Amino acid sequence: MKRITVKLALFFIFLICISSALSFFVSTLFTHNIENEMKLNQEVIAISILGLEQKTDLSIEEIVNIIPTSMYDVRRIEDIGLMEITKEELEKIQNHEILFMSHSRFRDPTTILMLGDDYIQISLHPHNTIFKIVASRVWFSLFLYVVIGALLIILLAKRVVKPILKLTSATQEVAKGNFDIQVENKSYDEIGQLTKNFNKMTRELKNIEYLRKDFITNVSHEFKTPIASIQGFAKLLQKGNLSEEEKQEYTNIIVEETARLSNLSSNILKLSKLENQEKVEKKIAFSLDEQIRKSILLLEHQWSKKNIEFDIELDKVQYQGDEELLQQVWMNLLGNAIKFSNSNSIIDIRLNQTATTVKVKITDHGIGMSEKTMVRIFEKFYQGDKAHSYEGSGLGLSLVKRILDLCGGNVYVESKLNEGSTFTVKLPLQY
């Protein structure tokens, strides 16, 4: 396979050769200066012939043999009728005028004069043509033009192709899985833009690879913990010699861990589906305030255990969107508020509607978060509670963020350690 440098060089050299050849053939069509020069030369020869005829006793044959030059041929015309001349031109010759004829660009110029009773023709030698004369004058210049042009093209082609070769080498590294590579290029042309986009692509691929590895690590960890717990308690149950209370306790733990696994698998599938979804397709009109009340009721078993009360102020809002997806948003946000609230505390819920947006605020008065935790809470599997003292997989808020992105909304968080957290959701009324 030929390298692009060679292809470019050959292509431009071919163009130079073709353009030079065409330039030469076109230039032969514009030979007015050369014809004038030939006319003057032939006129000088004709005058010399007439001078020799007048001043010497040389015969016509002797004069014809003396006068010819390396370029011009002088000969007697045997039959003037065979010459392509007009009657007027013949009369001029018979009146002893020197006649220069150049009827066609493709026929060589000729001078005819009358010497005594004979007609003399002065023309180029048979091996000389006007094409050969033009070629003799320009061939070396054209040759140098082609050679110098070819050398410059080869040098410039290497310079032009050099960044492409760098990109080729870099893409091979990317294909091997090396996403740390960056290609330097300070130009602002198309190659520069291509290099800039390539560097951007490698940075994005590096981030994606990091997220992929982090995702695999987190999934492995989240699955490994409940599986290990189930395996351990199942082995204890197999050994026997356990009281009824211990059996009940161990089986309850196994049920809880299997439920945790089921919930984790379900959330991973939901998140994967949402990440591959570009827009919300199912849009129906429903009561947003009633949906939030319903979500609170569905979580009764959680907040009743902690004796939590709710301070609710909800405007009546008729909203058009995906009812099922937004139900998941309220279930996750309310579930987190209940989980991280202290017992016997209050959760505030507000729903307000403006001309263009709907705003929902959910405030708990629980353990709160640090600024470092707030920055990362929407990342998959991230949990600010490193000790995992609270049940969860770190996918709930990622689901919330993705759903709101699809709905054209946003979610914001404000929090302080040991003072609680406030999640604010803003949704456009039309999207």
**Contact between 331 and 302 (Cβ < 8 Å):** no
Q: How confident is residue 30, by pLDDT bands cut at 50, 70 and 90?
A: low
The domain defined by 190-273 folds into: Helix Hairpins (1.10.287)
**Contact between 99 and 141 (Cβ < 8 Å):** no
Q: Among candidates 108, 84, 144, which has minimal Cα distance to 28?
A: 108
Q: What is the pTM of this model?
A: 0.47
For residue 77, what are the β-bridge partners? 119
Beta strands in 212-354 (DSSP E): 284-287, 309-314, 318-321, 346-353
Q: CA end-to-end span of the chain, whole Å?
A: 53
The domain defined by 279-428 folds into: Heat Shock Protein 90 (3.30.565)
Q: What is the pLDDT of residues 330-385, one digit of tens each?
A: 988 998 899 889 899 999 999 999 888 999 999 998 888 888 888 778 776 556 55
In this predicted structure, the answer to whether residue 17 has a pLDDT above a threshold of 80 is no
Please tell me what DSSP assigns to residue 238: H
Long-range contacts of range 182-190, CB-CB < 8 Å, 24 or more positions apart?
Answer: 187/163
For the chain, the residue count is: 431
Residues 6+ apart with CB under 8 A from 39: 100, 102, 109, 111
Q: What is the pLDDT of residues 259-294, one digit of tens each?
A: 777 766 666 666 666 666 556 667 888 999 999 999
Q: What is the pLDDT of residues 92-124, one digit of tens each?
A: 878 888 888 775 555 667 888 888 778 888 887
Mean pLDDT of 182-205: 81
* Interstrand relation of 357-364 and 410-416 (parallel, antiparallel or unpaired): unpaired
pLDDT for res 401? 86
Residue 243: both structure tokens together: 């009281």
Residue 250: both structure tokens together: 């161990």
Q: What is the pLDDT of residues 70-96, one digit of tens each?
A: 677 888 888 887 777 788 888 887 888
Domain ranges of the chain: 31-128, 190-273, 279-428
